[in-house]
Amino acid sequence: MLDSGSPLSALPAAIYAKLVAAFPYIRRIHNEFGDMYEVECPGRDDGGSIDFDFGGTIINVPYYYFVWQYRGNPGVCLLGAYESGRLVP
């Protein structure tokens, strides 16, 4: 399902693992949203994307779009995705 209305992206395990591996610095933290991952804040022009194939139509989503700038602490970014099938608090 493609749902652009959700603030978090639920990804299949293999795609989620690729996304997590794309960040050289990643650290599990607990905050008011529950358990999340802190990552380096990427720039819009940083390389890399998750590529979704919808029957031959490829949609490239840059890693940048899977990251939230944490309002409570400028300069801190959180991974805005989780592995589908895993419950999110």
Q: Which helix (H) or strand (E) holds 15?
A: helix 13-21
20 falls within a domain: yes
Query: Digits of tens for pLDDT over the chain (89 positions)?
Result: 555 566 788 888 888 888 888 888 888 887 666 678 888 887 778 778 888 889 999 999 888 888 888 777 777 888 888 888 765 54
32 falls within a domain: yes
Which amino acid is it at 74?
A: P
Q: Which helix (H) or strand (E) holds 13?
A: helix 13-21
Dihedral sign for Cα 29, 4, 73, 17, please: positive
72 falls within a domain: yes
Question: In sequence order, what DSSP letters do the residues of 17-39 get, joined into one string?
Answer: HHHHHT-SSEEEEEETTEEEEEE
63 falls within a domain: yes
Count: domains in the chain: 1
Is the pTM here over 0.85, yes or no?
no
Structural domain for 41, as ranges:
9-83
29 falls within a domain: yes
